[in-house]
Structure 1
Amino acid sequence: MINVSDQHAPRSLIVTLYGAYGRDFPGPVPVAELIRLLAAVGVDAPSVRSSVSRLKRRGLLLPARTAEGAAGYELSPDARQLLQDGDRRVYAPPPDGDEGWVLAVFSVPESERQKRHVLRSRLSGLGFGTAAPGVWIAPARLYEETRHTLHRLRLDGYVDLFRGEHLGFAPTAESVGRWWDLAAIAKEHEAFLDRHGPVLRTWRRRTGTPPEEAYHDYLLALDSWRHLPYTDPGLPAPLLPVDWPGARSAAVFHELHERLRDAGAEFAGV
């Protein structure tokens, strides 16, 4: 059994499992099934139990009984909203044009400065770039998810959101290079390609799709990929450097998804 690497932490894999297949279960996912499905990607039972406990404390998983009376866990309403918001990023094709921008402008009293740190962290985690102190920017399609996230965290009272277009004075492509660390984002795409490109090439040479192997490779690819659309918010191609690797990494993920997801569902039992 291959050990889970730092790239595939048990807690992250559990969230990925629920996103990929857990929502298709007829009820709560039994603990025994969680252990079986995580064992297939190298996670031992104690790690599953401790990670589930952390997710339960964060309010993402709720203990529940299956129809047969077995102990299991189901997604909380907040977790379902997070996964629904994530679906729009994880499975969406690369953007094909400039849709404008959403701006987040916030002001936090000094007496609540810890919330200022949380706001910056959350906006960064949603893929926002920094246009100026207290002014954050992202592609306009991220508005709904941003609104849901800030409301869920009770931070909406500190933020104003605006839609707009960039009118100058520097060219937008030049400004984007200041708002985001494009070199760091490109490295994330290259790492995904290095890790999962060879996996796809191997599957292209195969004639069959064994369910357990498909499940293994798909879950690991999805676990790697689902973080990337937050690191890279999907900036319009004309604003990015030549030979930007984002489209290539997206193509690898989407082909793996098409080839492996349904076969993996057989192993997952959904």
Structure 2
Amino acid sequence: MKSSVAIDEFIASRDHGEHEQLAPHHYILTLYGLFARPTGVTIPVASVVQLLADLGAEPSSVRSAISRLKKKGVLVSQQTGSGKGYALAAELEPHMQAGDERIFSSPSMNIRDPWLLVSFSVPESERQNRHKIRTGLARMGFGTVNAGLYIGPARLQAEAVEYIREHQLWPYIELFTCEPSGLSDIQEKISRWWNWDKLANEYQSFLNSYQHEVEGWQTALRQGAGDPLEAFRLYMPMITRWRRLPFLDPGLAPELLPDHWVGNTARKLFGDLHRLLSPLSLQHVQQAIPDWKTRSTD
């Protein structure tokens, strides 16, 4: 199914590492998710090339990435008044909405909330489906109890069901909601189900990269000196690096997190920079897209 290919490509875009060079297709998905999708704007190819050139991407690499995303079904071609353009495929919208909630709303479970268990068994002759299940669940933030049992907050159920349905994996999977019988050793178990050290390192890397930016931008905006281009150049990589982290972090109850959890500090930093940089970045994008106002209200 082409839709499942598109969904796989979209979810796989979260897999870049903390120190990995961001590729054009990462930026393209961020660009469409932030600026095109909320307003229904189709972005002309020339504008995508221009905006990513502002981030240092070569035009040939951008055009190649656009072509690849079109073949995967992530982008769909639409004609605009200024030439050929692209929009995100409609079937990605549920995943975009789930991403919006995680990235910008920071949902977390209550200590009394139920858990979701995903149990699966796949014949060896169909191990490609086993790989799809494990990869998909990991990219949604589920922890690994054992080879055939994954766990996460019950609020992940809708996203998991959508993934299972799109990939026709129901013959291999059972879902259960449950609650622990006691809290005596659940923190120790959780530390085995999720790699807190790795996630803490990624949060700390994000802090190291961006924590020095807040004060300067606060001052610039107070003085009316914020530059839309410079805001865009900081905002796009910041968002692109951040948007994978909420999918590695399951959003557990505060009582279950490690002491002095660095993720809380990193999320506050993200929220501060998002509020400071988003309006200016939008101005820069609007300037790069012909007839923005007309096509954003069609």
TM-score by length of 2: 0.83
**Which secondary structure state, in structure 1, belongs to the residue aligned with residue 150 of structure 2?**
strand
TM-score by length of 1: 0.92
Q: Answer yes or no: is the 8 Å Cα contact 1:94–1:247 preserved in 2.
A: no
RMSD: 1.8
**Which secondary structure state, in structure 1, belongs to the residue aligned with residue 56 of structure 2?**
coil
**Which secondary structure state, in structure 1, belongs to the residue aligned with residue 175 of structure 2?**
strand
Indicate the residue corresponding to 1:186 in structure 2: 200
Indicate the residue corresponding to 1:76 in structure 2: 89
Indicate the residue corresponding to 1:260 in structure 2: 277
Alignment of 1:48-127 (within 5 A): 48-66=62-80, 68=81, 70-93=83-106, 95=108, 97-98=110-111, 99-127=113-141
Indicate the residue corresponding to 1:232 in structure 2: 249
1:110 is displaced (CA, Å) by 2.0
1:168 is displaced (CA, Å) by 4.7
Alignment of 1:88-167 (within 5 A): 88-93=101-106, 95=108, 97-98=110-111, 99-167=113-181
Indicate the residue corresponding to 2:289 in structure 1: none
Q: 1:175 to 1:235 in 2, by over 3 A?
A: same
* 1:134-161, Cα deviation, whole Å (9 max, x unpaired): 1100112111111122222222332222
Matched, 1:174 2:191: no
Q: 1:86 to 1:169 in 2, by over 3 A?
A: closer
**Which range moves more in the overlay, 50-59 or 224-233?**
50-59
Number of positions where the alignment pairs a residue of Structure 1 with one of Structure 2: 265
Q: Supply the AA of the counterpart residue of 1:238.
A: E
Matched, 1:243 2:260: yes
Q: Distance in 2 between matches of 1:182 and 1:194?
A: 18
Matched, 1:218 2:231: no
* 1:165-185, Cα deviation, whole Å (9 max, x unpaired): 122586111110111111011
1:93 is displaced (CA, Å) by 2.8
| Structure 2: segments with no counterpart, 5+ residues | 1-18, 287-291, 293-298
Which structure 1 residue ranges, 4+ long, deviate > 4 Å from structure 2?
A: none
Identity rate, percent: 37
